[in-house]
């Protein structure tokens, strides 16, 4: 059966993305990286200047429930895109917002949602410069975000080497405690890792360690070995939840063994960092890998 004939459940997110974008070509003089990383990266006009583009959506009934506080809905919509900039070590510049909304929606609720966006934008000095509105069957918000790395290169998913150590920030598995609505994007941490050239590969954990770590490994052409006992869990979270629930929005990154001591010694943030494993040669995968799957919008577990 051809990929195009398969169901969405059979393809999953990764398979669908490959099916839809495999024919896309980019100009290497203009594009450092396109499909397959947390953001697209375009080369700037001067050396060591890069522009990063990201778009992300939140949909009612998928990313938030109808009774949720409106300000937190707007906040989450922008914070998710900011987390992807953090995942490459970039700084945010400007955003445009697309709103899809049923005709019966409360204007008061919509205004409160946008206040949530505005407050977070003010905190991170992001210019809100436009957007679009459209009628839809259910409420959704899409954020298109522009960022930059000036004076240093963004960190891609594809830079890890066999033997590099795996690290995560913070605690995992707090989605059901509503942390996914109030998390802080790890922008300073991501920028610090990129500026100091300590992370060989970097991404954020939006679909869970179980989904995102294999993506990093594939991008780098490697396997991974997890130390399950070292995975940091939020209070009350099981190991399974910490690996698979998703929406942690922590950073996952690799570090050369020679740089690990420097990382721990010079790490300037209150956010803790934890070594959870090591990258291996292709084909030598961690035991219990069937336990590591993460969140997928189309596949059901």
pLDDT single digits (tens) 113-123: 999 999 999 99
DSSP-derived letter for residue 237 is -
CB-hemisphere CA count at 13 Å for 229?
0
Per-residue model confidence (pLDDT) at position 212: 94
Q: In whole angstroms, give the CA distance from residue 81 to residue 97.
A: 11
Phi, psi (5° rounding) for residue 158?
-95, 10
Coil, strand or helix: which one is 291?
Answer: helix
Q: In whole angstroms, give the CA distance from residue 143 to residue 148.
A: 16
Please state, rounded to an integer, the average pLDDT across all residues of the chain.
90
pLDDT single digits (tens) 271-288: 999 999 999 997 655 444
pLDDT single digits (tens) 219-277: 999 999 999 999 999 999 999 999 998 899 999 999 999 999 999 999 999 999 999 99
Per-residue model confidence (pLDDT) at position 45: 86
Answer yes or no: is pLDDT of 13 > 80.
Answer: no
Coil, strand or helix: which one is 267?
Answer: coil
Answer yes or no: is pLDDT of 10 > 90.
Answer: no
Contact 66, 60 (CB under 8 A): yes
Contact 148, 85 (CB under 8 A): no
| Structure confidence at residue 149 as a pLDDT band (50, 70, 90) | very high
- Percent with pLDDT over 90 in the chain: 75
Determine which helix (DSSP H) or strand (DSSP E) holds 168, and give its type and residue range: strand 165-169
Per-residue model confidence (pLDDT) at position 298: 47
- Percent with pLDDT over 70 in the chain: 90
Q: In whole angstroms, give the CA distance from residue 131 to residue 97.
A: 4
What's the predicted TM-score (pTM) here?
Answer: 0.87
Domains and CATH numbers, the chain: 36-150 (3.30.1330.10), 157-291 (3.90.650.10)
Per-residue model confidence (pLDDT) at position 287: 47
pLDDT single digits (tens) 18-58: 777 678 788 888 888 877 778 999 999 888 999 999 999 99
pLDDT single digits (tens) 151-166: 999 999 999 999 999 9
């Amino acid at each position: 059966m051809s990929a195009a004939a398969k169901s969405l459940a059979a393809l999953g997110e990764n398979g669908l993305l490959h099916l839809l974008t495999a024919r896309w070509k980019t100009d290497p003089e203009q594009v450092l990286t396109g499909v397959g990383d947390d953001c697209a990266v375009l080369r700037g006009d001067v050396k060591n200047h890069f522009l990063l583009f990201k778009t992300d959506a939140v949909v009612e009934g998928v990313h938030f429930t109808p009774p949720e506080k409106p300000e937190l809905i707007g906040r989450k919509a922008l914070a998710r895109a900011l987390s992807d900039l953090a995942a490459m070590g970039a700084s945010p510049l400007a955003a445009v917002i697309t709103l899809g909304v049923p005709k019966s929606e409360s204007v008061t609720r919509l205004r409160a949602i946008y206040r949530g966006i505005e407050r977070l934008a003010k905190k991170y000095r992001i210019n809100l410069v436009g957007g679009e509105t459209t009628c839809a069957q259910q409420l959704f918000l899409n954020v298109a975000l522009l960022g930059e790395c000036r004076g240093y290169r963004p960190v891609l998913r594809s830079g890890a080497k066999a033997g590099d150590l795996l690290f995560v920030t913070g605690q995992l598995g707090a989605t059901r405690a509503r942390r996914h609505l109030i998390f802080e994007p790890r922008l300073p941490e991501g920028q610090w890792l990129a500026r100091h050239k300590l992370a060989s590969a970097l991404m954020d954990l939006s679909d869970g360690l179980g989904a995102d770590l294999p993506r990093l490994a594939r991008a780098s052409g490697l396997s991974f070995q997890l130390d399950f006992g070292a995975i940091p869990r939020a209070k009350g979270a099981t190991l399974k939840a910490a690996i698979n629930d998703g929406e942690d929005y922590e950073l996952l990154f690799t570090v050369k063994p020679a740089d690990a001591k420097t990382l721990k010694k010079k790490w300037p943030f209150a956010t803790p960092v934890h070594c959870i494993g090591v990258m291996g040669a292709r084909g030598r995968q961690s035991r219990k890998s069937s336990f590591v799957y993460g969140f997928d919008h189309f596949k059901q577990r």
